């Protein structure tokens, strides 16, 4: 049963955690938007498509925002308690720092476990949906954007130039249109003083209503040169053109094309893929080795023969053959050697490709766990650090939290890169950040427990002096 102290600590933690988590989530989303802003601009993407995409994108950013939110909140909470001497009062009443941290340890452990379940079951779906939708958006054509004095060639079979465009976006003036529907170059041209641009209710077609203009067309006839083509000019007061806009509609890619990507699988599926790759590699090895073995003729070992042959002429059997037989035998041997070499090269390339796949799947397997564990480790850095620096609010806690999070992120990225390049094992690369930050968390917790000064250089000098004296 929770005591009043536990309720107070948890209640004081939830508010800052929620706020900082949402801020971190917003920053991560804005970073992504800034990266892909050019792919979104000028495409007239529907609001519901954008909302759907950002829902999936937000869901995909949750595991990254959680560790930062926990660390900032823990530093803020314990910094506020220490700054207002509430932490000192608790210690004076006989409550240790570990006991004060206990409810938050359980809460953070629960959040870490929830983050693992989220990364395993929700994140793969969010990644699949957001990536497929992002690819669909990046491949979509820019929306119809008629600019004054510039030819617009985005609509298939038409090239349109507008002299002036009204602010309402509908009325157009001084239009020039090249019609390429018959695929004969610029044989048909339309000029109009005024036009109105509207889109049908279905959104599949654009209707261009032209007023007071001329159309010019060359009539092609067989057997006549380009210099003798008949020329037709029509004057009109009203003419309507219908242009297909289906190319500007968002075409969703098939999500099944990306479902085997490592970031879109849970742990069970990753294990299945790893087993499949290893089984495929084993079959490829067996097939190639069988092929090579079948191409080699084996003879009894001469060491076990009763009669020892002292003088051996390796080419004697070949010299007794005719010239055509010699050429055929040599050519066959060369072809056999080339085939075996090609098979071995194929096996080598296949092994390299399968090794890279295995690395990718193993990295994703560990990533689902390391991000969850990071929540707990950053809490053990943030909570004691807050009690040591004795500063609450958003100033110092935010600076320190961002600094540690950047270190964690850089170490994580560096470890992942080294794992991909086989500089480190996958386990070593993916747990590099955890292995470095865990001792820091233990050290800070020890410092907070013993109330020793973290930034006092004399204490460290005295420690090493005592250490060297003992060694002597």
Q: Each residue of 272-281: pLDDT tens digit?
A: 999 998 888 8
The 10s digit of each residue's pLDDT in 312-351 is 565 666 666 677 777 787 787 788 888 888 888 888 888 8
Contact 403, 385 (CB under 8 A): no
Contact 137, 53 (CB under 8 A): yes
CA distances from 136 to 15, 202, 255 (A): 38, 21, 10
pTM exceeding the 0.85 threshold for the entire prediction: no
- The contacts of residue 197 (CB under 8 Å, 6+ apart) are 146, 169, 170, 172, 206, 207, 208
* Per-residue confidence band for 203, with pLDDT thresholds at 50, 70 and 90: low
What percent of the chain has pLDDT above 90? 18
Residue with tokens 């003798």: 228
Give the per-residue pLDDT at 377: 92
Region 114-121: mean pLDDT is 93
Selected residue with higher pLDDT from 250 and 193:
193
Rounded-to-integer distance, Cα 430 and Cα 409, Å? 11
Taking each helix axis as running N to C, give the angle between helix 123-139 and helix 4-40, from 0 to 180 degrees, rounded to the nearest 10.
Answer: 20
- List, as one string, the DSSP characters of 14-59: HHHHHHHHHHHHHHHHHHHHHHHHHHHTTS---HHHHHHHHHHHHH
Which pLDDT tens digit goes with each residue over 356-385?
889 999 999 999 999 899 999 999 988 888
pLDDT tens-place string over residues 444-467: 888 887 766 555 545 545 555 565
User: What does the pLDDT read at residue 432?
Assistant: 92
CB 172 within 8 A of CB 162: yes
Mean pLDDT in residue range 173-184 = 77
Q: What is the pLDDT of residue 81?
A: 86
| Beta-carbon-side half-sphere exposure of residue 26 (alpha carbons within 13 Å) | 6
């Amino acid at each position: 049963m929770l005591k009043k102290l536990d309720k107070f600590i948890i209640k004081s933690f939830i508010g800052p955690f929620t706020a900082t988590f949402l801020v971190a989530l917003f920053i991560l989303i804005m970073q992504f938007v800034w990266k892909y802003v050019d792919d979104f601009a000028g495409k007239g993407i529907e609001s519901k498509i954008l909302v759907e995409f950002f829902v999936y994108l937000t869901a995909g950013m949750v595991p990254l925002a959680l560790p930062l939110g926990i660390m900032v909140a823990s530093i803020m909470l314990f910094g506020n308690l220490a700054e207002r001497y509430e932490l000192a009062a608790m210690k004076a009443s006989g409550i240790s720092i570990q006991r004060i941290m206990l409810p938050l340890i359980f809460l953070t452990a629960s959040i870490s476990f929830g983050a693992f379940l989220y990364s395993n079951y929700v994140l793969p779906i969010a990644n699949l949906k957001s990536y497929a939708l992002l690819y669909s958006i990046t491949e979509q054509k820019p929306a119809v954007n008629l600019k004054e004095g510039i030819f617009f060639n985005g609509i298939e079979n038409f090239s349109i130039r507008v002299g002036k465009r009204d602010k309402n976006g509908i009325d157009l003036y001084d239009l020039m249109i090249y019609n390429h529907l018959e695929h004969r170059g610029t044989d048909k041209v339309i000029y109009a003083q005024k036009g109105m641009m509207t889109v049908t209710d279905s959104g599949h077609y654009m209707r261009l209503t032209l007023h007071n203009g001329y159309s010019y067309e060359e009539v092609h006839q067989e057997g006549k040169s380009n210099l003798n083509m008949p020329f037709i000019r029509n004057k009109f007061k009203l003419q309507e053109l219908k242009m297909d806009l289906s190319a500007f509609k968002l075409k969703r890619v098939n999500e099944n094309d990306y479902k085997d990507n490592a970031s879109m699988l849970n742990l069970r599926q990753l294990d299945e893929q790893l087993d499949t790759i290893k089984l495929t590699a084993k079959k490829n090895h067996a097939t190639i080795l069988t092929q090579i073995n079948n191409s080699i003729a084996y003879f009894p070992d001469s060491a076990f023969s009763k009669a020892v042959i002292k003088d051996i002429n390796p080419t004697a059997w070949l010299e007794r053959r005719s010239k055509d037989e010699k050429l055929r035998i040599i050519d066959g041997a060369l072809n056999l050697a080339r085939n075996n070499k090609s098979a071995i090269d194929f096996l080598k390339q296949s092994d390299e490709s399968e090794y890279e796949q295995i690395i990718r799947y193993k990295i994703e397997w560990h990533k689902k766990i390391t991000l969850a564990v990071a929540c707990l480790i950053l809490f053990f850095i943030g909570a004691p650090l807050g009690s040591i620096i004795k500063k609450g609010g958003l100033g110092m806690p935010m600076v320190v939290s961002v600094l540690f999070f950047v270190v964690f992120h850089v170490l994580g990225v560096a470890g992942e890169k080294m794992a991909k390049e086989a500089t480190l094992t996958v386990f070593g690369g993916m747990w590099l950040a955890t292995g470095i930050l865990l001792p820091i968390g233990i050290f800070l917790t020890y410092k907070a427990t013993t109330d020793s000064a973290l930034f006092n250089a004399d204490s460290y000098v005295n420690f090493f002096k005592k250490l060297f004296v003992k060694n002597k």
